[in-house]
Chain A
Amino acid sequence: MDIFDFSDGREGYYGEYGGVFLPEILHATIEELIECFRECKADPKFWQEYVSLLQNYSGRPTPVTYLENLSRELGGAQIYVKRDDLNHTGSHKVNNVMGQGLLTQRLGKKRVIAETGAGQHGFATATMAAKFGFDCKIYMGAVDVARQRPNVFWMENLGAEVIAVEDGQKTLKDAVNECMRDWVTNMADTHYILGTACGPHPFPEMVSWFQSIIGLEAREQIVAQTGRLPNRVYACVGGGSNAMGLFQGFFDEPNVELIGCEAGGEGVGSYMHSARLAYDDASVGVAQGYKTYFLQNDEGNMSETHSVAAGLDYIGVNPIFAHLHDQGKVRFEAATDAEVKETLKLTMRTEGLIPALESTHGFVVALKEAATMAKDEIVLVNMSGRGDKDIFTIADALDDAKWKSFIGGKADQYRAEKK
């Protein structure tokens, strides 16, 4: 199936979801972007340049790792992991960012802006901007700036300006709004590097296209290693770009089940989560430039969301998944904060792998289900990011007393130096 083969008059729509809902002032900018993207997508040389850039700069192809210990311990399906954590900057975000960087060059623009939640996308964008020589401004909710200082530190040291957004809930969605406000002012020289497969067309298609490299590689690798396709494929879903990336390798396979793993936060009925499709709390709406399932109230104002993983803490889900969910082509489950912490400990101790809190959501569901499957079955999980760079967040999440005492000591030392 080609979900990007739009029927006449429905470009940018996936079933009833997607579209372009933006102020008129951006109409010409979006038209220009769509045209440029169409040219890039139709040009095999562009894709070659993209792949070669990622090979030489980011270490692609990333491997697929067999989790022998964990498979044995759980006694069910054989577990394989796609290692996008091994990318430069530590996550799959760099794929999309490098792709859009090449596209920004084609557009002839000199300045890039981006929203960021956990800071991974902002970090990747600042890295790309440094390499390509673009001016770079990153919008980040003030709450996220406070909880993700290490990423802010790197962004600033890479030469980007980081703006702490003080509006609304001061998280990812508010950073997106602030990017829109910058873009409606500066579109003449600025490209908006949207970080996930959400937002107005062509972003869902474009980000999915760049991320499809994950699925292309993974499919070939798992077949080479096991001689066949996996039974089930898992990935965490915030906006949904890493999951779209991996799943595209298996869309045409009726015997491969695809499972999106959302942030269950404090669980069903808590209203403190970011599960748009796995739980029943979201409804269809239009915000941030597109139509999809949003966590919102009856009057269309967005609800507060929550997750231990800042990168999944978002009101909407990509419109392609909303459609595939309706069609029953992707199943959605949620992992709670508590489950994520337990699974992270297990993965570290058993396999020496430190998945990002975001990616760990995929592991929670995969490991739970693998344990109930037959030994000759295979599951594949996307490790979309690495967790070691999130040491502050993870140490908090695991409530590590020694870490706290270390930070306390550091703080005392800085205070003494100040005096």
Chain B
Amino acid sequence: MGLEAFIAERKQDKDLLVMAHVVCGYPSFEDNLQELEIMAEAGVDLVELQFPFSEPSADGPLFVRANEQSLKAGTTVDQCFEFMKLASERFPFKVLMMGYYNTVFKMGEDVFVRRLKEAGGVGYILPDLPVEESANLHQLSADAGIEPIILMTPTSSDKRLAQLGAASRGMVYVVARKGVTGSKTNMGDDVVALIDRCRQHTNVPMGVGFGITSKADMDFLRGSADLAIVGTAALKTWEESGAEGLRRFFAELLA
């Protein structure tokens, strides 16, 4: 089943889905597995598996350190794909690759799409790959039934949103605010207005991310977005209070 159909199916039972995030190999793959178990129990719908990169320039401090530590521990692309395969076979949620374009470029776009497919991934998020540079990768992805997740942002003009909308497949990642991952966003009318503006340019589901930390944020997005994307807040919880804390975090978020 493709990403869009999966989201539609899940949305029959609940009005706001959740996409979570782990950095592969940080703190360790064993920890990652435990995190995923908790996410699956809580009913998380999608998980981004971030392949660590040495220059994560779109990430905030917590993920920067996670990328760095993971690489220092020797995490390889092979291990990330193996982990993805395990996760996609074991859990009911769908998994996506998140990372930076150089990881894809170095292995070759065709190899990347083939390996992602083999590992059970349904799509990918590459924040430093603009649509202008994506034609070949998007074509390969379409042939393989893999979805490239397009990002729409508060600084995108209507003309740009139309361009991005035309390229969007599976779902869109709406960036709730300027900046990098991991700092708080004040959910307000401007976020709703942005989602509305994005919807004028595509019919695929809208995921909203950057700075989502609480049930209040979830309640705010309900009825407006299709998915809430939770990244840094979950990792922060894991670091501060481990498995118990993370269980509580998702239970509260999804209550």
Known: A20-B132, A21-B129, A287-B102. A187 touches B178 (CB 8 A): yes
With a CB–CB cut-off of 8 A, which chain A residues contact B77?
299
Known: A23-B128, A27-B156, A300-B106. A180 touches B57 (CB 8 A): yes
With a CB–CB cut-off of 8 A, which chain A residues contact B102?
285-287, 296, 300
**Minimum CB distance partner of A19 in chain B:** B133
A167 at the interface (CB under 8 A from B): yes
B54 contacts A301, C-beta separation under 8 Å? yes
A216 at the interface (CB under 8 A from B): no
Known: A24-B152, A24-B156. A184 touches B106 (CB 8 A): no
Report A296-330 residues with CB < 8 Å from chain B CB: 296, 298-302
Q: How many residues of A contact B (CB 8 A)?
A: 35
A302 contacts B57, C-beta separation under 8 Å? no
B242 at the interface (CB under 8 A from A): no
A285 contacts B57, C-beta separation under 8 Å? no
Q: Whole-angstrom distance between the alpha carbons of A296 and B65 in the complex?
A: 19
B58 at the interface (CB under 8 A from A): yes
Report B93-142 residues with CB < 8 Å from chain A CB: 100-103, 105-107, 127-130, 132-133
A24 contacts B106, C-beta separation under 8 Å? no
With a CB–CB cut-off of 8 A, which chain A residues contact B156?
24, 27-28
**Minimum CB distance partner of B129 in chain A:** A21
A23 contacts B127, C-beta separation under 8 Å? yes
Report B194-250 residues with CB < 8 Å from chain A CB: none
With a CB–CB cut-off of 8 A, which chain B residues contact A173?
55
With a CB–CB cut-off of 8 A, which chain A residues contact B54?
168, 296, 301-302
A46 nearest CB across to chain B (Å): 26
With a CB–CB cut-off of 8 A, which chain B residues contact A181?
57-58, 60, 179-180
A39 nearest CB across to chain B (Å): 19
B133 contacts A177, C-beta separation under 8 Å? no
B49 nearest CB across to chain A (Å): 15
B76 contacts A299, C-beta separation under 8 Å? yes
Tell me the interface secondary structure of chain A in the complex.
Answer: mixed
Q: Whole-angstrom distance between the alpha carbons of A187 and B132 in the complex?
A: 21
Q: How many residues of B contact A (CB 8 A)?
A: 41
Q: Whole-angstrom distance between the alpha carbons of A188 and B178 in the complex?
A: 10
A353 at the interface (CB under 8 A from B): no
With a CB–CB cut-off of 8 A, which chain A residues contact B65?
167
B160 at the interface (CB under 8 A from A): yes
A25 contacts B129, C-beta separation under 8 Å? no
Q: Whole-angstrom distance between the alpha carbons of A23 and B57 in the complex?
A: 9
A190 nearest CB across to chain B (Å): 11
A187 contacts B155, C-beta separation under 8 Å? yes
B53 at the interface (CB under 8 A from A): yes
A288 at the interface (CB under 8 A from B): yes
Q: Whole-angstrom distance between the alpha carbons of A273 and B157 in the complex?
A: 43
**Minimum CB distance partner of B126 in chain A:** A21
Report B176-202 residues with CB < 8 Å from chain A CB: 178-180
A228 nearest CB across to chain B (Å): 45
B55 contacts A299, C-beta separation under 8 Å? no
With a CB–CB cut-off of 8 A, which chain B residues contact A157?
none
With a CB–CB cut-off of 8 A, which chain B residues contact A256?
none
A22 at the interface (CB under 8 A from B): yes
A226 at the interface (CB under 8 A from B): no
**Minimum CB distance partner of B53 in chain A:** A301
A185 contacts B128, C-beta separation under 8 Å? no
A185 nearest CB across to chain B (Å): 4
A286 contacts B68, C-beta separation under 8 Å? no
Q: Whole-angstrom distance between the alpha carbons of A301 and B160 in the complex?
A: 31
Report A157-182 residues with CB < 8 Å from chain B CB: 167-168, 173, 176-177, 180-181
**Minimum CB distance partner of B103 in chain A:** A300
A89 at the interface (CB under 8 A from B): no
With a CB–CB cut-off of 8 A, which chain A residues contact B58?
23, 180-181, 184
With a CB–CB cut-off of 8 A, which chain B residues contact A185?
178-180
A27 contacts B155, C-beta separation under 8 Å? yes
A24 contacts B180, C-beta separation under 8 Å? no
Q: Whole-angstrom distance between the alpha carbons of A187 and B155 in the complex?
A: 10
With a CB–CB cut-off of 8 A, which chain A residues contact B60?
181
List 5 A-B pairs, minimum CB-CB distance, nearest first. Answer: A300-B106, A300-B102, A185-B179, A301-B54, A180-B57
Known A181-B57, A300-B105; further 18 A-B contacts with Cβ < 8 A: A25-B153, A27-B130, A167-B68, A180-B58, A181-B58, A184-B58, A184-B180, A185-B179, A187-B178, A285-B105, A286-B102, A287-B55, A287-B100, A288-B55, A299-B77, A299-B103, A301-B52, A302-B55
Could you list which residues of chain A lie within 8 angstroms of chain B, going by C-beta atoms?
19-29, 167-168, 173, 176-177, 180-181, 184-188, 283, 285-289, 296, 298-302
Instruction: Give me 14 A-to-B residue pairs in the complex whose CB atoms sit less than 8 angstroms apart, sorted by A's number.
Output: A21-B130, A22-B128, A27-B155, A27-B156, A29-B155, A167-B61, A177-B55, A184-B180, A185-B180, A286-B102, A286-B128, A287-B102, A288-B57, A296-B102
